[in-house]
Amino acid sequence: MKKLLLVKCAPEIFLKGLNKGKFERKLKNNIKNVFKDTDYSFVVDQGRWFIECDDLKRGIKRLKNVCGISEICVVDEVDSNMESIESQALENSMENEGKTFKVVTKRANKKFPQTSMDVSREVGAYILQNTHGLSVDVRKPDFFVNIEIRDKTYVYSRRIKGIGGMPYGTNGSTMLLLSGGIDSPVAGYMMARRGVRLNYVYFHSHPYTSERAKEKVKELAGVLKKYTGSVNLYVVPFTKIQMGIIENCREDELTIIMRRFMMRVACDLAARYGIDSVTTGESIGQVASQTMESLVVSNDAADRPVFRPLIAMDKVDIMDVARKIGTYEISILPYEDCCTIFVPKHPKIKPRLEEIKKAESVLDIDALVGEAIENTEFFN
Ligand code: ATP
Ligand code: MG
């Protein structure tokens, strides 16, 4: 008898028609990548994917971060005969804490003498005869005993929910504006989970923001690496732009003008490195720079699509996701970011595009953006 992990793809992948193969290949490669430093084998049996590895617990942990997997099942492989199937099914039931069960059989191997219904019935009866206190519930059982009859037979009850979504790398790329806050890492996670390749841009205002603030952003990108496999972080020196705005513009317009600069730099970097879009952690109404009017004005400075996956989420729900993905504890560390240092006392809540454009026209926008990009540092 062998223990294996059965990997189930998110059902959405099966809706891809002719493109299904492309998504499956990507997912397979991503799975192979997370196991590449271990001894493992990847077995495909009639469309089912199995992983054999020496440390199942670690294997599950790795697979739980692979986007596009809906479920991971711990499977016992036995010979395809009733005796072996029954004894394994009994063992699985006794390991389970539930009181009611249902046997579900799939028979891909049509040479097997009994029908799936017969197998389920016989195995169910065998479990009942050999245990105390268990009963069958076909509607809402505490646990399932799944049996898949192929060349070999796979018996499993333990099912672990996967991350879902789409295979990483199948849906284009984005430049995430990554601050040290709670929101932007969550926005990145949500895009990565849908298969969008992530790159990051952080605006650093040395010496007003410390080295430690930059390290914090690197650390956040490092946590997201468990979903993306890499860190592609661009650190943009932002002080000169901010000083230019502070010296030349009205205090209540600082934030919105600064956000327009962030958009321009992010878009130009994206263009330079072949990245399709930009993503932020903005959520409607959260702060002055995230009112509908402010978003319209900052969006105007972008020349490619800007995605805001958190736009309709409440802060408490964003925080829950941050805890789940492991970024929360880092995000709440109290290092200042460039926005917290240059916050006006009364920022404009309803900026008007024409006014803002006029206000910023005193700056040499192209030169400031160009210089920031020339001095951008890249970390991998
Ligand atoms: P977060 O928790 O993600 O920092 P926030 O609630 O603090 O967000 P803002 O400071 O208004 O909100 O920032 C809105 C978005 O702008 C952030 O989610 C992030 O995408 C981007 N952003 C803000 N500051 C920076 C920065 N220094 N570098 C890169 N992106 C930034
Ligand atoms: Mg912030």
- What single string gives the DSSP state of each residue in 257-318? HHHHHHHHHHHHHHHHTT--EEE----TTSSGGGSHHHHHHHHTT-SS-EE-TTTT--HHHH
Distance CA 318, CA 312 (A): 10
338 lines ligand 1 (CB under 6 A): yes
Percent with pLDDT over 90 in the chain: 85
Amino acid code (one letter) for 208: Y
Which of 177, 179, 327 gets mutated to test ligand 1 (max ligand atoms within 8 A of its CB)? 179
Question: Using one digit for the tens of pLDDT, what is the confidence trace for 134-168?
Answer: 999 999 999 999 999 999 999 999 999 999 999 99
310 lines ligand 1 (CB under 6 A): no
Do 283 and 183 form a contact (C-beta atoms < 8 A)? Answer: yes
Cβ neighbours of residue 116 closer than 8 Å, sequence gap 6 or more: 105, 106, 107, 149
Distance CA 236, CA 204 (A): 6
Write the DSSP symbol of residue 64: T
N-terminal to C-terminal alpha carbon distance within the chain: 43
Question: Using one digit for the tens of pLDDT, what is the confidence trace for 324-347?
Answer: 999 999 999 886 665 565 777 788
Residue among 264, 276, 313, 306 nearest 198 (CA): 276
Residue nearest to atom 6 of ligand 1 (CA): 183
Distance CA 362, CA 178 (A): 28
213 lines ligand 1 (CB under 6 A): no
Q: How many CB atoms lie within 10 A of CB 60?
A: 18
Q: How far lies 6's CA from each of 9, 53, 74, 99, in Å?
A: 10, 12, 6, 25
Overall average pLDDT of the 53-74 stretch: 95
What is the structure's pLDDT at 125?
Answer: 97
Q: Give the HSE-up count for residue 305: Cα atoms under 13 Å, Cβ half-sphere.
A: 9
**Longest CA span, the chain:** 86
What is the structure's pLDDT at 35?
Answer: 93
Spacing, Cα 194 to ligand 2 middle (Å):
23
Spacing, Cα 181 to ligand 2 middle (Å):
5
What is the structure's pLDDT at 19?
Answer: 84
Which of 178, 184, 328 gets mutated to test ligand 1 (max ligand atoms within 8 A of its CB)? 184
| Structure-model confidence comparison of residues 15 and 125, the more confident one | 125
Using CA of residue 22, residue 26, residue 31, residue 35, what is the dihedral sign?
A: positive
Residue nearest to atom 22 of ligand 1 (CA): 179
What is the structure's pLDDT at 17?
Answer: 77
Distance CA 379, CA 4 (A): 37
Distance CA 216, CA 214 (A): 5
Question: Using one digit for the tens of pLDDT, what is the confidence trace for 4-61?
Answer: 999 999 988 878 777 888 999 999 999 999 999 898 999 988 788 999 998 999 999 9
Does the pLDDT at position 362 exceed 60? yes
Distance CA 220, CA 228 (A): 12
Beta bridge partners of 144: 102
Spacing, Cα 339 to ligand 1 middle (Å):
8
Spacing, Cα 53 to ligand 1 middle (Å):
41
Known binding-site residues for ATP equal 177-178, 202-203, 259, 281, 290
What is the structure's pLDDT at 336?
Answer: 65
Question: Using one digit for the tens of pLDDT, what is the confidence trace for 214-233?
Answer: 999 999 999 999 999 999 99
181 lines ligand 1 (CB under 6 A): yes
Does the pLDDT at position 360 exceed 60? yes
Distance CA 27, CA 13 (A): 10
Question: Using one digit for the tens of pLDDT, what is the confidence trace for 281-306?
Answer: 999 988 878 999 999 999 999 999 99
**Tokens representing residue 375 in the block:** 């001095």
Which residue is listed with tokens 């390991």? 95
* H or E element, residue 155: strand 153-164
